[in-house]
Amino acid sequence: MANKNVIYGINGPVVTVKNSTDFSMQEMVYVGNQKLIGEVIGIEEDTTTIQVYEETTGLSPRQPVISTKSPLSLTLGPGILTNIFDGIERPLRDIEKTSGAFMEKGSDIPALDLSKEWDVTVTAKVGDQLTGGSIYASCPETASIVHYIMVPPTLSGTVTFAADNGKYKVNDKILELTDQNGTVHPLTLCQRWPIRTPRPIANRLECTIPLITGQRVIDTMLPIAKGGTAAIPGGFGTGKTMTQHQLAKWCDADIIIYVGCGERGNEMTQVLDEFGDLIDPRTGKKLTDRTVLIANTSNMPVAAREASIYTGITLAEYYRDMGYDVAMMADSTSRWAEALREISGRLEEMPAEEGFPAYLPSRLSEFYERAGRVDTLCGKTGSVTVIGAVSPQGADFSEPVTQNTKRFTRCFWALDKSLAYARHYPAINWISSYSEYDIDLQRYFDENVDPNFMKCRSELIAILREENALMEIVKLIGEDVLPDDQKLVIEIARVIRVGFLQQNAYHKEDTYVPLKKQYKMMEIILYLYNIGKQLVTSGVPISKLVDKGLFDMLVKIKYEIENDHLEKFDQIKEQIDHAVTEIKSI
């Protein structure tokens, strides 16, 4: 019998079918003779609207549309790590082997390698009662990550068959689970999960542990917690992508999911080249052993760009459920929002501000709310931290994507083009940026770094804010007319900006800085500041302190004191005391 569902109309990636009752909302379908992957996004009495995730050139009316009776889902199992996928989890390396540099339409290459054998340890036994999320097997996925095989969240029952330990392919039967109705469910090394449905959890926890990045402006001034959300807005050339690269390299997450959403192809090539050469400082293994790349560049189909961040967050939740801390980098959510706008326009929906659809805020909310630190169904604790770059046109932070992102994230790392053009990296503006996690993380810093950590941070922020106000006066009348106590503020603020906030990603001691060294740097800067205040109060000109070179000395300590030789800070303190003694003796 011929398929009665056929294409009626085509408008870019949007395809319509007339007079059909066979489809459900968010169902995955195959469109046309080449079986392009699509998703049902609208159903009316006589019209079904489908979003196609591939190039629709060559489609024509009367070609078939085939129902799958299932939502757009990902295959989850061993082999995800180290891989590169497109926006709907098609493996780009495998596609390159068969199709060359250009992806063929309707490519149906499996997401995971079906022929590879994994060294599986089966932990469940016949008679065990298992519920959704229970771990029944494990295998080493890479040299640094163990992959735990879990019962799909919607299943539970009694184990009636369990395979022996050994080598198995992802589709080999490992377990049989018989539910309370007597239905037998064969379980393999992989499972399927809809990308738009959050994976269930046992309990949501407070975010009280920092995601340590080794970047001083973030860890100290604008910290983010594991399970938190952050936005990195900035105009062209301000370093959004490079900041995310640095975070991906050095943050203490177990797994990195990097989503290149609508970015230029050369940027993704740079990510591949850099990540392939990097060594993970925690394990000594390749960084790619714990990384997944999702590449949906600007020349790929726009609808797949819309799906790519859901693909990324679903993969992140899957590894979170195993008990891992996952960091997801979305670069950039502005390109994702532009994909929403384009599809909305083709659907002839009523536009809201700047042409974006009225549901842009709710879509952003749904995405960022899938972050969090949780108790998983298997009894472990895991987290998903989401860091999304935003690319406002002309660096206009008042545009809709940036403003709505601010509503749903608790960290706002605003990149400043004037800092970037001055080669101050990371170019995060410490005045217009903020973090709402500082209070939540205070106990951690008190217990694991120093009880004075947050106090020192507050003093540094106060100095920077005072300098910002003073610079308005300096622009009008010059620095020479300021009293010495205000000149001291400007000098010490320069030390904070250049010696503390500015960081060199290419210097082996400065590219990553542990928290204890960050605290020691704050402490010595404030030590000089307090001594300077005492000298100025007693009538000593600030110029004498400047002439001793103490401020310049503190700017250089980030390079000269190794991360594992913090005792050298005591020598710096002795040099300051010696210089002050000489000044007083004059």
CATH at residue 32: 2.40.30.20
Element containing residue 293 per DSSP (H, E)? strand 291-296
Question: What span, in angstroms and rounded, lies between the C-alpha atoms of 385 and 319?
Answer: 12
Contact 169, 115 (CB under 8 A): yes
Per-residue tokens: 324: 């891992």
**Residue 371 and residue 512 in one domain:** no
Q: Where are the alpha helices (DSSP H) in 197-301?
A: 216, 240-250, 265-277
**Residue 255 and residue 334 in one domain:** yes
Beta strands 381-390 and 411-412, pairing class? unpaired
**Residue 342 and residue 396 in one domain:** yes
Question: What span, in angstroms and rounded, lies between the C-alpha atoms of 88 and 548?
Answer: 61
Q: Is there a domain that residue 79 lies in?
A: no
Contact 444, 208 (CB under 8 A): yes
Report the CATH number that the domain containing residue 160 is assigned in CATH: 2.40.50.100
Report the CATH number that the domain containing residue 514 is assigned in CATH: 1.10.1140.10
Contact 116, 101 (CB under 8 A): no
Structural domain including 28 reads 7-71
Written in H, E and C, the secondary structure of 28-88 is EEEECCCCEEEEEEEECCCEEEEEECCCCCCCCCCCEEEEEEEECEEEECCCCCCCEECCC
**Residue 46 and residue 167 in one domain:** no
Strand, helix or coil for residue 345: helix
**Residue 213 and residue 248 in one domain:** yes
How many distinct structural domains can be found in the chain? 4
CB atoms within 10 A of CB 266: 9
**Residue 495 and residue 555 in one domain:** yes
Of the residues 409, 436, 463, the one at which a domain ends? 436
pLDDT 10s digit of each residue in the chain, 586 long?
Answer: 456 799 999 998 999 999 888 899 999 999 999 999 999 999 998 999 999 998 898 899 999 999 999 999 999 999 999 999 988 898 988 888 887 766 777 778 899 999 999 999 999 999 999 999 999 999 999 988 999 999 999 999 999 999 999 999 999 999 999 999 999 999 999 999 999 999 999 999 999 999 999 999 999 999 999 999 999 999 888 988 888 888 988 999 999 999 988 777 667 777 776 776 777 766 777 778 889 999 887 777 888 888 999 999 999 999 999 999 999 999 889 999 999 999 999 888 999 999 999 999 999 999 999 999 999 999 999 999 999 999 998 888 999 999 999 999 999 999 999 999 999 999 999 999 999 999 999 999 999 999 999 999 999 999 999 999 999 888 888 888 889 999 999 999 999 999 999 999 889 899 999 999 999 999 999 999 999 999 999 988 888 888 999 999 999 999 999 999 999 999 999 999 999 998 887 6
Written in H, E and C, the secondary structure of 375-411 is ECCCCCEEEEEEEEEECCHHHCCCCHHHHHHHHHCCE
Q: Is there a domain that residue 83 lies in?
A: no
Distances (CA, A) of 56 to 33, 306, 547: 11, 16, 70
